[in-house]
Structure 1
Amino acid sequence: MTDMNTIRIADLANPELTEMQKGAIAYAPPVTMEVEAVLAAARAATGLTDFGAPDFRERLAIWLAAFDADKGLGPLGRAGMFGDCVRYASARLRVEDLYRRHPGIADVVIDRPIIIAGLPRSGTTHLVNILAADPRLRSMPLWETMEPIPAADDAPTVPGEDPRYTRTREMWGQFEAVLPLMPAMHEMAPDHVHEDIELQGADFSSYLPEWLSRPYAWREYYAAHDQTPHYAYGKRVLKAMTHLRGPNRWVMKSPPHMENFGPLAATYPDATIVVTHRDPLAVIQSAITMLAYGDRIRRTLPLDLKELATYWIDRIEMLLKACVRDHDKLPAGRSLDLLFHEYMADQKSVIARVYAMADLELTPDAEASIDRFLAANPRGKHGQVVYDLAGDFGVDIGALRERFQFYYDRFPVRRERMTGEKA
């Protein structure tokens, strides 16, 4: 660190692990990346057996094989990926059980959702949390995305607190104790809104595994398959969550919506879709710095920062090429492109534009709730990380700008100067 508000992570490639980090790695349980091992653990955790349509098994097998093929994953990284698979399989069991007990859930209407798409690190999290401050809109906080359907026999351990909230608060508290700089890059408070692609996790799709591993085989499979069925599955889970707790007009966000405009519009034909745009170089340096910091406990050391950079440069290029290609699939009159620099300069004006597009009145009560959120969550409240895409990751800034020229040509994003780049 250089001062109280500026954070420079100087040991990204060769981390100096704390005793807590060493302990977390040492206590990671060994796991076997096999489909039946995941499903058996999910059955044991839930007491349920019906996973619904069996096609997910093929995708789960590809996930697990890709994790096994990622030789850079360390013990804690492997245990984490296996644990996520068990969590998603458990959620799938609970979704099927809830539908069996309440078949009317299929008739629940999801009313004109507001859906935010945008690159990771482009303001989507902040924007969705601002809109979620309006109590007329339903959103999915982190504690609910971690466990979208409660266990039938789940009992509170803290009076008046949903046990899922309690578990999430404790789990992420431990995570942030191990990685104390993480909130400065991406806060994971239990009540902050998380990404709706978590709902597709129970169908073992989306780009979720890519954030915590290098699953090349899954990336290829995902890119080659239409995601419409998995968006439909996500909506199935959304109906179940609405049945459990309304209202039924949602505000949601996820970056991979940018590469799935067709499936998104087909699944939510009455949605208002907001697309945020930011300089992809700023996105990449922020995202891979955050991932590299977390990788000190997930992967074997020293870290291969060039591989990490290459993976995500390729991945962001895939995402943005699909965005440019399919932008015309967005509904006319119900989609809005927001530029990051305009959003940062005048958030209230942007919010007003979103409300107008969604045909939702910005009432005094809603505006007061939004103002309270903005006051409590200024940008950089946990400190400002200093990024160095060229110095830390060996990236040629000029060549990367040329590579993304297709995106600069399509959307007038403001180019953000990288460390060492000439003005």
Structure 2
Amino acid sequence: MAAPLIHIDDMADPEVTPELAAWRAGPPDFPCPMSADEVLASACAATGLEDFGEDTGFRQRLGVILDALYADAGLTRGGQVFVLGQAVRAMANRLRIEDLVKRHPEILDMPVERPIFIAGLPRSGTTHLVNWLSRDDRLNSLTLWESEEPVPAAPLTPGEEDPRIARSAAYWGAFGALVPHMAAMHEMAPHDIHEDNELLFMDMNCYNWEFSARLPDWTDHYLAHDRTVSYAYEKKVLQVLAWQRGERGKRRWLLKSPQHMENLAAIKAVFPDATMVVTHRDPVDVLRSLTTMLGYSDRTRRSRIDPPALAALWAGRIEKLLRECVAQRDAFGPDQSLDVLFHEYMADQEGTARRIYRLAGLDLSPETEARLLGYLAENPRHAHGKVVYDLEGVFAMDTASLRERFSFYYQRFAVKQEN
């Protein structure tokens, strides 16, 4: 049976319900605005800790993020509070990581060997691919709730559900109630496998900030500086997670993020034995989906929604990401990397998995293959409905101009133009 079509016809002018108005206003008791020093002090107060470890430049990056945040005139107070809350949470996580490593220095001896990275444009199948391959229990992967709080705030009680799971479920449940069609575009469930760029939050070098606000000055700063130091910090967080998992922590890591596409050289420097899988999809079709997802969620954080401005911003951001990818792609040679074209992946998912397994040097036993195929059967595409995208109408983008703009990418990779 065909998936029901979802038309979002109030993109630019949604009805502001009392619940949406409250979300836009943010919690009245949350301090806003905050300086970088106040964010750090709030993290210290929340944890009772003070040592953030070596300053890898995260303090400066935090200041740049906040300056860019307050320059975004269309963001509501609630939108600012969300980013500030993310920053406080990230710094609290960093404090707990440093405290745990200080008490257990053996954590830094934990191996992070031959990790498998999946990189690809947003909306290019990376989430589906990583959740699918994570069914292989020989691999370590990262759940949403664990990425949000890698180290528990207090000792866990045996036999009881981890409170971090409940906090994640409560937040995303409330957000999902405001934007019910989001599940059809990108569902956020605590136990789903998530992006490891969340770990880069703890070094203030995650491109996810850009999904929550218009931060062009931050983007320029981020791209102008080397990100290797932040991937080194991600490795430390992976060591912490592996140590907490005990014997399970010795498994190979399976990681994914669109951000990796523009950081291939940094990943190779920090994880020289990594396997890199890069997915490729027509960037015009990526923009159709991405702008709709971001424009739809903007109702929770912006007083005025401007779909054309959003699309123009992200067309430029995707171009920057793709140019970095083309420039850095040869950091990984053919013995360690694989390019996966979206249309080929959709046509032959099982064949794609076999190619990845051969590249990674993993055998694909009948038992493992059955688990992987079970995921495909349980998670069909468009299970929550199929969103109808209108890049040309709602977002006022010219497809032909975009294709000319992205010609350098089409010339480098044999991406199928979808529409």
Give the TM-score taking structure 2 as reference length: 0.96
The residue number in structure 1 matching 2:34 is: 33
SS in 1 for 2:261: helix
Task: Identify the residue that residue 162 of structure 1 maps to in structure 2.
Answer: 162
Query: 2:354: which partner in 1?
Result: 352
Q: Secondary structure at the match of 1:391?
A: coil
Compared with structure 1, are the counterparts of its residues 4 and 279 closer, same or farther at alpha carbon in structure 2 (3 Å cutoff)? closer
> SS where residue 115 of structure 1 aligns?
strand
1:146 counterpart residue number: 148
Partner of 1:420: none
Cα drift, residue 18 of structure 1: 3.1
Shift of 1:317: 0.4
Partner of 1:326: 328
3-state SS, counterpart of residue 118 of structure 2: strand
Q: Deviations over 1:8-66 (max 9, x none)?
A: 10111111233322232345335123112211221121111111123311111111111
Other-structure match for 2:281: 278
Query: Is 1:243 aligned with 2:243?
Result: yes
Equivalent runs, 1:13-412 vs 2, <5 Å: 13-29=12-28, 31-54=32-55, 55-155=57-157, 160-245=160-245, 246-301=249-304, 303-412=305-414
Unaligned segments of structure 1, at least 5 residues:
418-423
Q: Report the Cα offset of residue 155 of structure 1.
A: 4.8
Structure-1 separation of matches of 2:288 and 2:341:
18
Q: Does the aligned pair in 1 maintain the 2:165–2:190 contact within 8 Å?
A: yes
The yes-or-no answer on 1:413 pairing with 2:412 is no
| TM-score where L is the length of structure 1 | 0.95
CA distance in 1, matches of 2:191, 2:368: 18
Whole-angstrom CA distance in 1 between matches of 2:252 and 2:238: 11
The 1:27/1:204 distance shift into structure 2, 3 A limit, reads: closer
Equivalent residue letter for 1:198: E
**Displacement over 4 Å in runs of 4+:** none
The one-letter code of the counterpart of 2:33 is T
The answer to whether the 8 A contact 1:320-1:407 is kept is yes
Q: Would you say the 8 A contact 1:261–1:326 is kept in 2? A: yes
For 2:294 and 2:15, locate their aligned partners in 1 and report how far apart those are by CA, in whole Å.
16
Cα distance between partner residues in 2 of 1:209 and 1:350: 31
Equivalent residue of 2:276, what SS?
strand
Q: Distance in 2 between matches of 1:232 and 1:111?
A: 14
1:332 is displaced (CA, Å) by 3.2
What is the alpha-carbon distance in structure 2 between the residues aligned to residue 6 and residue 19 of structure 1? 27
For structure 2, the 5+ residue unaligned runs are none
SS at 1:23's partner residue?
helix
Deviation at residue 210 of structure 1 after TM alignment: 0.5
Is residue 155–residue 163 contact of structure 1 (8 Å, CA) maintained in 2? no
Shift of 1:364: 2.0
Secondary structure of the corresponding residue to residue 202 of structure 1 = helix
* Structure 1 Cα separation of the partners of residues 244 and 75 of structure 2: 37
* CA root-mean-square deviation: 1.4
CA drift at 1:134: 0.7
**How far 1:4 moved relative to its partner?**
6.9
SS at match of 2:417: coil
| Offset, 1:154 | 4.9
Tell me if the contact between 1:265 and 1:331 (Cα under 8 Å) persists in the aligned partners.
no
**Structure 1 residue 257: Cα displacement:** 1.0
Cα distance in 2 for partners of 1:247, 1:145 equals 18
CA contact (8 A) 2:3 2:386 kept: no
CA positional deviation for 1:177: 1.1
Deviations along 1:398-417, one digit per CA (max 9) or x if unpaired, are 11111111111111111011
In the alignment, the residues of structure 2 paired with residue 9 and residue 413 of structure 1 have an alpha-carbon distance, to the nearest angstrom, of 28
Identity of counterpart residues, as a percentage?
A: 51
In structure 1, what is the Cα distance between the partners aligned to 2:303 and 2:129? 35
Residues 189 and 288 (structure 1 numbering): CA distance in 2 closer, same or farther, change over 3 Å?
A: same
